[in-house]
Amino acid sequence: MFENLEGFYPIIAVVVIIVILLLVGYVKAPPDQAYIISGLRRRSRILIGRAGIKVPFFERLDRLYLGQMTVDIKTEQSVPTNDFINVNVDAVAKVRIAPTTEGIQLAAKNFLNKHAEQITCDLQDSLQGNMREIIGTLSLKEINTDRDSFSDQVMLKASRDMDKLGIEILSCNIQNVTDENGLIRDLGADNTSLIKKNAAIAKAQADRDVAIAQAEADKAANDARVLADTEIAQKNNELAIRQSELKISADTKKAEADAAYEIQKQEQQKSIETATVNAQIAKTERDAELKKQEVEVARKKLDAEIRAQADAERYRQEQEAQADLFRRQKDAEALRYEQEQAAEAQKKAAEAAKYAKEQEAAGIAAVGRAEAEAIQAKALAEAEGIDRKAEAMKKYGEAAMIEMIMNALPEIAKNVAEPLSKVDKITMYGEGNSAKLLTDIINGTTQITEGLTAGMGVDIKSLLAGAIGGKIASASKKEPPRDGEEAKNDAE
């Protein structure tokens, strides 16, 4: 594989050398300079603002400045004008190398590789000579009064020589013109005197015209013033007569207006007094109505406050009674549950003892059936006694619960009615006031018992009814029936 590459080594070396030469010969001209590459070709290559390749060792690179240049043109010695007056002129010219191929080639023959200062120094002598030639063809007055024409002639004259050098004149401005004898200043003084003379004559003529016009104006003004005074006197007489007539008419109208005003004033005063009395009566009625409404509002507010306090206190007492009753009920349920558990335990113990006795009786059958039967009968009796005791315990639990409820009912009724006892005064509307109050207390107590029935699942009404019915039945069994009079006395 490497043996095949040996034939390409010379080619690669040549390519590398060419690339190196190209990199070394790469040039790029700025916009204000012209790069001139010469050597291999008959005509030089010109690069302005672009890049190119210069073959090393075979081509050379030269630079030519293309920017704008300023040339000071001053006459070092006085130059006589067309009218033989020596003058000194200062001017400034803006030049550059012509941006054409021909202009660059001409400039390259004279200004190649030179800086802008060197080029302006080379051009200064030629431009000064051109300006001196133009000064000799013009008069002093023409140079001073028409400097634009003077600079144009200098540019035109100099352009012919500059074209041969590849230079383009952009502008030429005359800065200053002086002479040795001060003739320019004297010409200015002469002109100044002439201007002052003309101004004085014009002023005198103007003053004369003003005086004539002023006299005519005064005469016209006097005539107008006399005429105006006459007309003013006539108008014043007419005004006095008219003022007298108007005063008579005004006095009559004023008298009538005063009389009408007094009448109108009395009518208005009467209307005001009537309106004032009506307003006072209406205010008194509104005050009375307002007082009545305030009393009614105060009464309703007081009733609402008393009722709200009574309701709040009753609600608090009801909540406390319900809480106390709930606690008592829970205590009764706990006691009943304990008693039921104890009775259940005794019952199971009795059953166990009974079973043990039965086993024991079966085991000692050899001793004697009579003794076994006696023992069995005793055990059965004991078991039945335990059962009766357990039943009694259950009944005792219900009796305890009934007793607790009966003891709690007066307390509940007391708590329901207690908020009303703290109220100083209650105003009740409608019929059946006292009966309604008692009914509210009973309904409150009933709502509490019904709430306990719904919450605990124990029908208190049925429980109480059963207990009372049982007592009545037992009492009827113990006591013999009596006649109607005795029953009536007992009822009383």
Instruction: Considering only CA atoms, give the Rg of the chain.
Output: 74
Q: How far apart are CA 372 and CA 88, in angstroms?
A: 177
Beta bridge partners of 73: 91
- Alpha carbons within 13 A on the beta-carbon side of 195: 6
Q: How far apart are CA 344 and CA 379, in angstroms?
A: 18
Q: Strand, helix or coil at 50?
A: coil
**Is residue 127 a contact partner of residue 151, using CB atoms and an 8 Å limit?**
no
At residue 197, the pLDDT reads: 67
Q: How far apart are CA 393 and CA 381, in angstroms?
A: 18
**SS3 of 405-422:** HHHHHHHHHHHHHHHHHC
Number of Cβ atoms within 10 Å of the Cβ of 412: 23
**Is residue 408 a contact partner of residue 324, using CB atoms and an 8 Å limit?**
yes
Q: How is residue 237 written in tokens?
A: 């007489």
At residue 409, the pLDDT reads: 64
Q: How far apart are CA 443 and CA 413, in angstroms?
A: 10
At residue 1, the pLDDT reads: 44
At residue 490, the pLDDT reads: 44
At residue 463, the pLDDT reads: 62
Q: What CA dihedral angle connects 349, 350, 351 and 356, to 10 degrees?
A: 90
Among 313, 330, 315, which Cα is nearest to 408's? 330
Q: How remote is the C-alpha of 130 from its chain's centroid?
A: 77
At residue 94, the pLDDT reads: 92
Q: How far apart are CA 441 and CA 421, in angstroms?
A: 12
- Alpha carbons within 13 A on the beta-carbon side of 172: 25
In 16-166, beta strands by DSSP E:
26-28, 33-38, 45-48, 51-53, 60-65, 69-74, 79-80, 86-97
Side chain identity at residue 165, one-letter code: L
Burial 274-294 (b: 16+ CB within 10 A, else e): eeeeeeeeeeeeeeeeeeeee
At residue 466, the pLDDT reads: 62
Q: How far apart are CA 134 and CA 117, in angstroms?
A: 26
At residue 45, the pLDDT reads: 87
Q: How far apart are CA 65 and CA 42, in angstroms?
A: 23
Number of Cβ atoms within 10 Å of the Cβ of 122: 15
**What DSSP designation does 92 have?**
E
At residue 96, the pLDDT reads: 92
At residue 38, the pLDDT reads: 87
At residue 445, the pLDDT reads: 62
At residue 485, the pLDDT reads: 44
Q: How far apart are CA 9 and CA 317, in angstroms?
A: 120
At residue 387, the pLDDT reads: 64
pTM score, two decimals?
0.35
Classify the C-alpha dihedral 259-260-265-270 as positive or negative.
positive
* Mean pLDDT, contiguous 10-residue spans, the chain (492 residues): 59 78 80 87 85 83 90 84 84 90 88 90 88 84 79 86 89 83 65 65 80 85 86 87 87 84 85 86 86 85 82 85 85 84 82 77 58 66 64 54 63 63 56 58 65 60 62 53 44 40
Q: How far apart are CA 339 and CA 417, in angstroms?
A: 35
Among 172, 422, 403, which Cα is nearest to 312's? 422
Number of Cβ atoms within 10 Å of the Cβ of 15: 11
Q: What CA dihedral angle connects 43, 44, 47 and 48, to 10 degrees?
A: -80
At residue 398, the pLDDT reads: 56
